Structure 1
């Protein structure tokens, strides 16, 4: 149970957040951050939501609600997709896992209830779709780092190795039934594990014994900013669309109609993206929401900022006409330079020639 897991995490010097719902740090933030790039860390995504869609119309329904081609995904496959509103503005970046019986949606902690209510608005009486929140019945762990494969191998899970991103298998290991998915929501090798709540303490302990280094929310926050992974209420808001957010890989331009599709297709066709999300190397920490200026004119806004090993990094939207990678800007009292980040792309989609 979660209580047993929390006891074991506290024994490893885990420090709870103010609401005592998550481990902020194990006192090893610098070591764990480096390990994500050269070893492997274990992060407990305890706030994150897991929704389950069942019913014969589940794929069609989600296909019509989000940007990716859900109808083309077979059991054992998955993808990332974006929920957008009717004008194509971002609501959430979700990970989809398709099974024989259901579609599972891994969603951000601050979008769990919102998306339940959002999807419910679009359910009609004749739709054969049921949406269930199974977050409290499961825990989500992330293995992050190039040594993740070794952890999986040592654990005796081999079928998932080398599979495409977001592929997933339901496996039984050490009498625990676990769904293992390729990828961890960052542009770093790893896996996402969905574990029944009564098995979490045993699984977490086993992964630590196999060599994974425990990491708290602080480390994931630093990684996601350095990687460029946009997050709700920071980079993913109704002020921006998924093209501006650099989420081109989550969008199918051939799938046909869905909520917000017309706006997104038009922006691509006419190359009308007016601002883009960039990484930012800063001279000092800056408060989220601080305007970004060039030649004393506002050209963007800072959406996230963090310190990593005495260096300062952020994410910012900047007007396309102002410039791109390498552009030097002013953010409050700080200076900054736009940098490319591995999670994002900004290439317009070109349909194949007939």
Structure 2
């Protein structure tokens, strides 16, 4: 059974949706922007201050626009193992993984974090994706005993990100040993009730996602800030998170990859198990992996000057178009503009000098490897 989902991926509602935290965030000085059909906090103070909070302390992020899908039924593991790119069968309760859902042609329908519980699996996905995922999976449920339920109206996602996230967690939960490995998770008690703590690194500075009840979402938001003021904990908006995300070379679905991309093109090798057997799109991925032949790939670009490029700007090698920009920000740490974008194979060598064209202006760029900042925590590092 697939529950009805109110938000269509193909076309968002005319009026953007708002988190239950909207009024509280507005009172905290938040400025808002639209993101995937949601009105979300762009910043609370200054982007520079919030960037430093994520880098040196711990920032509190409202990710309630994210979707949460729960898979139940005796065939849930076998079914999702055959539909997703990573190994679901080997997960024990308390473990998780990063995975993708593909088309038969190996293109990326969605990326997600998969958490294994005793009696279910929980998938956390980008805003606007739950219905798309549910429709895509439903077509392949024939005799399988599996139910997919949208839990986005009952559960919400908050995130604490930064090098002091572990200290903050120890102050608000009864669990003194937080999940150590990436995507490990546990249910723990707080003074407001139970919360599921998931080891998720959204900036490569360390961090955790918190799955909380929508019923006391506002209370959790306030509790985290009040409990950890001494750590310098502050709410952080989308802009500062996006700068850290780009510096860390972390692609975002709908921005840096979509259904036109193989996951390997976006560098999502860690979402793919090469020895799990068959899954949707597996033959295409295996061929690309073992032949080592990708016609394009997501790379880093160092821009001359301090002005970021725009998403969709074209990249040229001499007079030949060789790629395009997907994300671009000004990096306070590097003190220069940087970008991620796709380049054709002949132009993606690190050190290559190219140019970006925007509105008649030409910007020199240099190809570099991702991530831009190498002293950030590598994927899988303990917090």
Normalized against structure 2, the TM-score is what?
0.84
Cα distance per residue 1:304-331 (max 9 Å; x no partner): 2223447322111112332332322111
In structure 2, C-alpha distance between the alignment counterparts of 1:197 and 1:65, rounded to whole Å = 29
SS at match of 1:325: coil
Structure 1 contact 160–168 (Cα < 8 Å) conserved: no
- Aligned counterpart in structure 2 of residue 70 of structure 1, from 70, 88, 100: 88
Determine the structure 2 residue equivalent to 1:318.
Answer: 343
CA distance in 2, matches of 1:122, 1:214: 41
Question: CA separation in 2, counterparts of 1:150 and 1:214?
Answer: 16
Write the deviation string for residues 113-151 of structure 1: whole angstroms up to 9, x where unpaired: 211211112211x11110011011111111110010110
Kindly indicate whether the alpha-carbon contact (under 8 Å) linking 2:179 and 2:185 is maintained by their aligned counterparts in 1. Answer: no
Contact 2:355–2:363, Cα closer than 8 Å, also in 1: yes
Rounded to whole Å, the distance in 2 between the matches of 1:267 and 1:38 is: 39
- 1:139-172: CA deviation from partner (whole Å, max 9, x where unpaired): 1111110010110122244354362111101111
The alpha-carbon deviation at position 6 of structure 1 amounts to 2.9
Say how many residue pairs are matched: 343
Whole-Å Cα distance in 1 between the matches of residues 175 and 235 of structure 2? 23
Query: Structure 1 pair 343/184, CA: closer, same or farther in 2 (3 Å)?
Result: farther
Aligned to 1:299: 322
Distance in 2 of aligned mates of 1:178 and 1:120:
29
Choose which of 110, 113, 130 in structure 1 pairs with 2:147.
130
1:278 corresponds to: 299
Q: Give the equivalent residue in structure 1 for 2:187.
A: 170
Tell me: CA distance 1:223–1:276, structure 2 relative to 1, closer, same or farther (3 Å).
same
Residues 73-106 of structure 1, C-alpha deviations (whole Å, 9 max, x = no match): 1110001001111111112210011101110000
1:20 offset after TM fit, Å?
6.9
Partner residue in 2 for 1:11: 27
Aligned to 1:60: 78
Describe the superposition over 1:183-241 as per-residue Cα deviations: whole angstroms up to 9, x where unpaired. Answer: 14442300000000111111111111213210112222222222222122322222221
Q: Which moved more, 1:310-319 or 1:27-36?
A: 310-319
Moved more, 157-166 or 43-52: 157-166
CA contact (8 A) 2:19 2:64 kept: no
Shift of 1:266: 0.7
Which TM-score applies when normalising by structure 1? 0.91
Aligned-pair Cα RMSD in Å: 2.2
Cα 1:157/1:273, change in 2 over 3 Å: farther
CA distance 1:265–1:181, change in 2 (3 Å): same
How far off is 1:287 after superposition?
A: 2.4
Runs (5+) with no aligned partner, structure 2: 1-17, 374-383
Q: What residue is the counterpart of 2:367 in the other structure?
A: 338
Report if aligned partners of 1:91, 1:232 keep a CA contact under 8 Å in 2. no
For the pair 1:220 / 2:238, whether they are aligned, the reply is no
Separation of aligned partners in 2, 1:99 and 1:198:
22
